[in-house]
Structure 1
Amino acid sequence: MVLRSSWKSRHKNSCGPAPRWIRPGLAALLWLCAIRLACGIEVGEIKTIVQKDAEFDANYNDMVTSENQTIYAFNHTISRNKTEGVRVSVDVLSNKSESPILFVVRQKQGVLSFQVPLILRGLYQRKYPYYDVGRTLCQPPTRAASETQYFFVDVSTLSSQGTNYQLRVSRVESFTLQTNKKFSFTASPSQPQYFKYVFQDGVDTVIVKVNSDMTFPCSVMSIQDIQCPIYDLDNNVAFIGMYQTMTKKGAITVQRKDFPSNSFYVVVVVKTEDEACGGPLRFYPLRPDQLIDAGNRSKALDVMVSPAINLEAYVMGMLFCLGIFFSFYLLTLLCVCLELNKRRNVFLNPADMSPAETGNPATRKTPASPNEYGSFADNGSTMSSEAITDSATSTDNNYGYMERSLESVARSRQESLSSIEEDDYDTLDDIHSDKNIVRTKKFLYVADLARKDKRILSKKYQIYFWNIATIAVFYALPVVQLVITYQTVVNVTGNQDICYYNFLCAHPLGALSAFNNILSNLGYVMLGLLFLLIVLKRDLAQNRALERHDVNALECGIPKHFGLFYAMGTALMMEGLLSACYHVCPNYTNFQFDTSFMYMIAGLCMLKLYQKRHPDINASAYTAYACLAAVIFFSVLGVVFGRDNTAFWIVFSVIHILATLLLSTQLYYMGRWRLNAGIMRRIVYVIYTDCIRQCSGPMYIDRMVLLVMGNIVNWSLAAYGLIQRPNDFASYLLAIAICNLLLYFAFYIIMKLRSGERIKCLALVCILFTAVVWGFALYFFFQGLSTWQKTPAESREHNRDCILLSFFDDHDIWHFLSSIAMFGSFLVLLTMDDDLDTVQRDKIYVF
């Protein structure tokens, strides 16, 4: 039917209303008039309106100019139990025209309008025209069991030249997705696709997976509520719902509670450019209004919706996690009970006790006299061998369990309350034995480096614990606040590109997006607490032995200072807390939360190894934490500025090498090498006397071997960093710390065995067990389920399904195994020198 603009003049004498068949045309005319007025166009310019009754799945090839407008009328029946999609496809057949064609789809509860060519903008406002457009109409829910709905497609243009186009309206039979059934489709920037999913009975959480064999073009998947309009273009898909960029993989976990209608739309949009997915940048247009040919950006994809885990899986995962780590508590309790039972048997059968077990000097050899340099502390902290014998004999009449006298209790209380700082005075009498003479002997024994008062050293090493506890409080509180803010932003905006999860195995709980990654960090906290309890037990036992003047505790074995052990246990607990905070929303801006206390653990372990044989000259807590703070500072700089920054890598490599040389010098000369204005003169003098004047070998062969190997390793790591410039600077820095720790630990074990010492069964079991667990842990660590060095879309290519109880992934297993391995490593350091508990300190070598 054709309506002329002169219809009104021919029917001006008509008194009744317009015929019924004329009403749709008048409605279209009024609608188009409103559009033209909004655009500033004269209404009188419309001359012809053509309305056609159209059918589905038919191609309509027409031409449109500014002189005419075409209206296509469609009707279809919808039912409440079945939802069918309706898709409008338009293709401009003519060459580029000066004005676009406007398509307006009028529905009962909404209007969809778009122009062809469809102009989509990319980075830097670059324009990409698309002449083949396909859009799916929004289907609002109906209350009636069956209902016939009408919609109209209006076609118009302001171009005076005729433009040919092809229009096709078709039904989408597979508009509603089926559970566990894959559906394949094709999308492009101008032809987005979306589908509907309805929650089944008994299913509260589902995971929507979208996959493709094509890396590019970059795509966006979105989950939106059932409402009109649907945001399905590159420039508006992020306006509502949850969304994430993807290349080959994309997955979003959807919960029923977030959608009151018990259904949602899965929207897939292909982006106009690939920069968001790590693709190359296109050229910048010469003119601001220049249109860029986008080329063929069609992408084949498939979507599948699967039920996620239920409440039972959550409960099983939590019970499994708690069961693993509580088993270590039970094992420790069993060992304590066996030890107490053994002591009880010894107490009931004193005749069977050996002299080493009783510690009674009356039945054992008198301790060896001090060597020429003095092997016993000389400030009143120890006694002569005769005094020790008398004291030990008097206290051992009741097998060491007699209560202390009131006088000794008062004296001990007064000493514990006194404020003694290490720097107040030096307990080494420099008049009788100069430090330089003692520490530069060719063969050193532990007695030579354990001359300071035990109270002084105990307070010195307790500072490690109190300092790290203070650091933990001030470090953790802002971290917790920040990650809560991150999680809130993710939940409010729906932007799932903010956090780098393993989306194929991310189980939400409450406001947390990946509860399983947080739960698996529980082992660090529980095992760190268990280690603190073990250290506390040993500390109390050592104090009791000192109070009853036990000979072994006073003059035998490695001096026992537990401050560093307390600091290590605290650091392990903080590693679990901060790792959990990091996994609330893992990304490159907060990765240092996960690694800061790893640096501290590595540093504290090296300090503890060195302290075992060098208790008097170990670094103070202030110096140690200042160095660790510098490491964390460089970690932050490397994460922020280290990517392809040549200047940064040069500066860092130089500092790394200089620090290695300085530390090597301090270790070789036992802290007697001073860093002051005369250092260059001394270096030249040493080179002249030892290398030029007379070529002599190193005086301390063992130390030189360790330091040469350490310098080779560190110089190699510095060269690797300068040449390769790894993107993950934090992990690179952690690798440096771990390599140095492993090198020093291997050197310690080798020198211990080389010195004729042995490793007890418990320590040997811990070493073997820890080595095996570390091997498995590193295997799972290098699986790399996500990586914040790349774009979020590229990171999702590494995502994998859960492998343990359908709840934990590879990285969760890394958390389990690494916490156990760290706990085992701490036990190795705690028990490694138990074989020396009955050996005089002037017989224990320093290396």
Structure 2
Amino acid sequence: MVLRSCCKFGPVLVWFRLGYVVLLWLCVTHLRCARAETKTVVQKDAEFDVTYNDTVTSDNQTIYAFNHTVSRNKTEGVRVTVNILSEGAESSPILFVVRQKQAVLSFQVPLILRGLYQRKYPYAHVGRTLCQPPTRSLTETQYFFVDVSTLSSLGTHYQLRISRVDSFTLHTDKKFSFTASPSQPQYFKYVFPDGVDTVIVKVNSEMTFPCSVMSIQDIQCPVYDLDNNVAFIGMYQTMTKTAAITVQRKDFPSNSFYVVVVVKTEDEACGGPLRFYPLRPDELIDAGNRSKILDVVVSPAISSDVYVMGMLFCLGIFLSFYLLTFLVACVENKRSVDRPTVVYRKPGVTPVSPYEYGSFVDNASTLSSEAITDSIASDANYGYMGQETLKRRPFLTAIHHVAIRIERSLESVAGRSRQESLSSIEEDDYDTLADIDSDKNIVRTKKYLCVSDLARKDKRVLSKKYQIYFWNIATIGVFYALPVIQLVITYQTVVNVTGNQDICYYNFLCAHPLGNLSAFNNILSNLGYVMLGLLFLLIVLQRDIIHSRALDRNDLNALECGIPKHFGLFYAMGTALMMEGLLSACYHVCPNYTNFQFDTSFMYMIAGLCVLKLYQKRHPDINASAYTAYACLAAVIFFSVLGVVFGKGNMVFWIVFSVLHILATMLLSTQLYYMGRWRLDSGILRRIVYVIYTDCIRQCSGPMYIDRMVLLVMGNIVNWSLAAYGLLKTPNDFASYLLAIAICNLLLYFAFYIIMKLRSGERIQCMAMVCILFTAVVWGFALFFFFQGLSTWQKTPAESREHNRDCIVLSFFDDHDIWHFLSSIAMFGSFLVLLTMDDDLDNVQRDKIFVF
């Protein structure tokens, strides 16, 4: 029964509820109409350049009506200026609504702008420029209205002024000065003249702070000209003293754009300090005086002819190296054809080992003192057995020269084969042991080693071992470059889509776009690394072919003279130089601190490969394998990434890195001093203590390998000093700091190599000397341009732009591009030095070439 009753009276209840809703709506509407009847709306015909002083309350609303004539051939700006005169207006702001033909602009006064941590800054004085919708008629009268209203029951006194901006349109190459503040932004219109497709908009100021934003926006309404919305559209940059944006006509269908300048409420985006923290999140903070005087100038950018000239200039420089190399190769080939093949044996070069002294003691005692003196006088000016050595050890030196004379007499009498004479491993040199030819420790403990002592392994095995360097670095390059290219394309896309030009640290005063690339000139200048790396590979290939042919015909010079020729590391160096060019170009697509490792990774590899090649020249049997070398370089790159991400101001990271740096230096020093004849195990500490006790405490004996000890002591001093500098200064640019460590060690070892080469009586041929001098000069000029510092990602983008400078070559290349040119040439020259510096030994027997 109850259910039936509900069903019966259900429609009645629905109609009752509907009637109740309608009655409620009628009551609310009546109340609104009654309230509206009590509010007074006043419309006034207003004029330009007249200041209106008025008061507004919740009971009245004032509408100011303006009209002005708009000409299609002349663009004028209209500016609205409002000032609140009443105290305590923050609690009851006034709303200003400007109604135009195609746009509506509304803002409250006091204008509340938010900063970092949502801090609020009120501005009682506000100035806004109205956007200008385009007109199709030659002249047209446009109307706009300014509505003033508030919900405050108390009267708020205000001033309103509408004025024309006569200098609203910017002209090419004409500077215009103006003043802006956070509540009074400024923007101006620029129209592309005929024949100009690209322009550079430059905004400058003598004042570093307050921080500002320069934006390029299309001609449309509304114009985003406040700190909280200027980044919504177009391209924009933060600035302290300077900002520059290159604008292309193709990006703006109307052939015109707005240049918007906004002063920020805070300076943190430009590297300024935090002023103070609010006590409460909703606390209003006095903004103070943040007006800034600026000037803007729009200049035409370079034409397409300059792009062509820049590309031809770049290609011409590096193709000239190909031509010069071809001419030198032709001259050298002619000289080699005309020169007969002779195995040159330098007199008096045979080094002495500790084992040779005892072999001829008995014979030496039968010789006259005159013979000994003559022998000493004839051969005492070479290598390690110089005048100082004669003074220290005259008896042993005399025995050495007697041994040389006996060896020569035996060669002439017995007629030994040349194969036997070329070998530095003679049966008389050692005690009679069964493993004399196989135990490497017996050979490597000699005090004076020859290259033949450390070139005992099979040549085919060593060649394959060093070819792995090339194949590994080629594989690393492919797998490293592909994600890098993908990432930088993403970076460039983000810059183009968002318009945020603070992402990339260009030299904006000399950044020439091409297609989607923002700075094509910085990418083009890296072509030298690729071209010269390829040229070096061709030079190495030519030498490799010549050497292989000499081996095929069993040329004794190629088999048993000179530094053993293994070209795998040279191929790896050339490949690394090409990869450096590719990755440097990728870095300059969008240079910033997160991808700086792309520009430096193969620099570490180049430095490491050069050190390995220097060591390999005299130590071919005991040089590091490719897997070990690349594993160490991978660890270096790993620490480089950690340093960029965590190293800035992190003392824990710097302590860990400095300790590892010192430990690695000590382990490498031990490895080099003992030539691998040591073990890192649980007994290492006991052996160290034993050596210190026997050699330093029990008896003070000098090091057995003095030259190696000098190098390693200097290397440890340099590396410990660099570690201390990093620990004390904690430089922000960790990647450059790590690269400086690698370069210092390379230069130290190279200088040691040159000094020891000259000290051993060897000479540097003309070609190698020209390469050394040329490379040194080019490196000097290259470093000069490198330290110009056109931008730096160690600072904020705005601060980085303070270092920007104009182009210096062909109006296309800047100082950093010249660094790319010169450094690629200098690296190529450095590789040629390593390739040619031991050419003087090509006809010297390996048992006459010292190891150092």
Range of TM-score over shorter length: 0.7 to 0.9
Structure-2 residue corresponding to 1:66: 58
Give the alignment partner of residue 80 of structure 2, picking from 88, 96, 112: 88
Distance 1:494 1:241, change over 3 A: same
Q: Equivalences for 1:611-760 in 2 at 5 Å?
A: 611-760=616-765
Structure-1 residue corresponding to 2:236: 243
Give the alignment partner of residue 247 of structure 2, picking from 251, 254, 264: 254
Give the alignment partner of residue 342 of structure 2, picking from 335, 359, 366: 359
Whole-angstrom distance in 2 between the partners of 1:163 and 1:122? 27
TM-score by length of 2: 0.86
Pairwise CA distance, 1:432: 3.7
Bigger shift: 313-322 or 67-76? 67-76
Structure-2 residue corresponding to 1:233: 226
- Contact 1:440-1:670 at 8 Å conserved across structures: no
- Contact 1:388-1:549 at 8 Å conserved across structures: no
Structure-1 residue corresponding to 2:381: none
> Structure 1, residues 608-650: CA drift from partner, whole Å, max 9, x if none?
0000011111111011000000000000000000010010000
Where 1:661 maps in the other structure, the secondary structure is helix
Whole-angstrom distance in 2 between the partners of 1:601 and 1:657? 22
Where 1:490 maps in the other structure, the secondary structure is helix
Whole-angstrom distance in 2 between the partners of 1:466 and 1:335? 29
Structure-1 residue corresponding to 2:129: 136
Question: Which amino acid in structure 2 is aligned with residue 73 of structure 1?
Answer: A
Give the alignment partner of residue 281 of structure 1, picking from 274, 279, 283: 274
Pairwise CA distance, 1:340: 2.8
Whole-angstrom distance in 2 between the partners of 1:189 and 1:551? 83
Pairwise CA distance, 1:283: 2.6
Where 2:672 maps in the other structure, the secondary structure is helix
Bigger shift: 547-556 or 652-661? 547-556
- Contact 1:388-1:551 at 8 Å conserved across structures: no
Pairwise CA distance, 1:200: 0.6
> Structure 1, residues 255-311: CA drift from partner, whole Å, max 9, x if none?
000001100000001111111111112333222321011111111111000000000
- Contact 1:366-1:385 at 8 Å conserved across structures: no
Distance 1:767 1:131, change over 3 A: same
Structure-1 residue corresponding to 2:70: 78
Question: Which amino acid in structure 2 is aligned with residue 234 of structure 1?
Answer: D
Whole-angstrom distance in 1 between the partners of 2:421 and 2:619? 30
Where 1:759 maps in the other structure, the secondary structure is coil
Please list every run of 5 or more consecutive structure 2 residues that lacks an aligned counterpart in the other structure.
1-27, 357-403, 405-414, 423-432
Distance 1:77 1:367, change over 3 A: closer
Whole-angstrom distance in 2 between the partners of 1:566 and 1:689? 46
> Structure 1, residues 83-116: CA drift from partner, whole Å, max 9, x if none?
0000000010111222100111111111111000
Whole-angstrom distance in 1 between the partners of 2:658 and 2:832? 34
> Structure 1, residues 678-717: CA drift from partner, whole Å, max 9, x if none?
1111111111101111011111111111111111110110
Where 1:358 maps in the other structure, the secondary structure is coil
Structure-1 residue corresponding to 2:482: 477
Distance 1:537 1:687, change over 3 A: same
Whole-angstrom distance in 2 between the partners of 1:496 and 1:68? 47
Pairwise CA distance, 1:80: 0.4
Where 2:514 maps in the other structure, the secondary structure is coil
Whole-angstrom distance in 1 between the partners of 2:509 and 2:60? 53
Whole-angstrom distance in 2 between the partners of 1:685 and 1:569? 45
Whole-angstrom distance in 2 between the partners of 1:254 and 1:41? 54
Pairwise CA distance, 1:46: 5.2
Whole-angstrom distance in 2 between the partners of 1:681 and 1:608? 34
Whole-angstrom distance in 2 between the partners of 1:832 and 1:431? 33
Alignment pair present for 1:386 and 2:417: yes
Whole-angstrom distance in 1 between the partners of 2:740 and 2:786? 13
Question: Which amino acid in structure 2 is aligned with residue 61 of structure 1?
Answer: N
Whole-angstrom distance in 1 between the partners of 2:214 and 2:348? 81
TM-score by length of 1: 0.87
> Structure 1, residues 645-697: CA drift from partner, whole Å, max 9, x if none?
01000000000000001111111111112111111111111111011110111
Question: Which amino acid in structure 1 is aligned with residue 107 of structure 2?
Answer: F
Q: Equivalences for 1:304-315 in 2 at 5 Å?
A: 304-315=297-308
Please list every run of 5 or more consecutive structure 1 residues that lacks an aligned counterpart in the other structure.
1-35, 347-352, 376-383, 392-427
Pairwise CA distance, 1:387: 6.8
Alignment pair present for 1:827 and 2:820: no
Structure-1 residue corresponding to 2:772: 767
Distance 1:624 1:430, change over 3 A: farther
Alignment pair present for 1:298 and 2:291: yes
Whole-angstrom distance in 1 between the partners of 2:348 and 2:552? 21
Give the alignment partner of residue 821 of structure 2, picking from 816, 819, 822: 816
Whole-angstrom distance in 2 between the partners of 1:802 and 1:259? 26
Pairwise CA distance, 1:790: 1.0
> Structure 1, residues 30-56: CA drift from partner, whole Å, max 9, x if none?
xxxxxx99xx99852752122221111
Pairwise CA distance, 1:148: 1.0
Q: Equivalences for 1:108-147 in 2 at 5 Å?
A: 108-147=101-140
Whole-angstrom distance in 2 between the partners of 1:828 and 1:47? 91
Pairwise CA distance, 1:738: 0.2
Whole-angstrom distance in 1 between the partners of 2:801 and 2:126? 29
Distance 1:785 1:168, change over 3 A: same
Question: Which amino acid in structure 2 is aligned with residue 90 of structure 1?
Answer: V
Where 1:544 maps in the other structure, the secondary structure is helix
> Structure 1, residues 160-182: CA drift from partner, whole Å, max 9, x if none?
11111111111101000000000
Pairwise CA distance, 1:373: 7.6
Structure-2 residue corresponding to 1:597: 602
Give the alignment partner of residue 491 of structure 1, picking from 487, 492, 496: 496
> Structure 1, residues 443-475: CA drift from partner, whole Å, max 9, x if none?
111111111111111111001001000100110
Structure-2 residue corresponding to 1:522: 527
Structure-1 residue corresponding to 2:396: none
> Structure 1, residues 329-374: CA drift from partner, whole Å, max 9, x if none?
0001111222233345x2xxxxxx5xxx32379x999998999989
Question: Which amino acid in structure 1 is aligned with residue 734 of structure 2?
Answer: F
Whole-angstrom distance in 2 between the partners of 1:831 and 1:607? 16
Where 2:417 maps in the other structure, the secondary structure is helix
Whole-angstrom distance in 1 between the partners of 2:161 and 2:496? 39
Distance 1:231 1:45, change over 3 A: farther
Where 2:616 maps in the other structure, the secondary structure is helix
Whole-angstrom distance in 2 between the partners of 1:660 and 1:614? 20
> Structure 1, residues 172-200: CA drift from partner, whole Å, max 9, x if none?
01000000000000101100000000001
Question: Which amino acid in structure 1 is aligned with residue 838 of structure 2?
Answer: D
Whole-angstrom distance in 2 between the partners of 1:364 and 1:820? 36
Distance 1:237 1:558, change over 3 A: same
Pairwise CA distance, 1:431: 4.8
Question: Which amino acid in structure 1 is aligned with residue 632 of structure 2?
Answer: C
Alignment pair present for 1:177 and 2:170: yes
Q: Equivalences for 1:502-513 in 2 at 5 Å?
A: 502-513=507-518
Whole-angstrom distance in 2 between the partners of 1:390 and 1:688? 42
Distance 1:551 1:177, change over 3 A: same
Pairwise CA distance, 1:389: 11
Pairwise CA distance, 1:386: 3.2
Structure-1 residue corresponding to 2:208: 215
Whole-angstrom distance in 1 between the partners of 2:284 and 2:347? 97
Distance 1:212 1:42, change over 3 A: farther
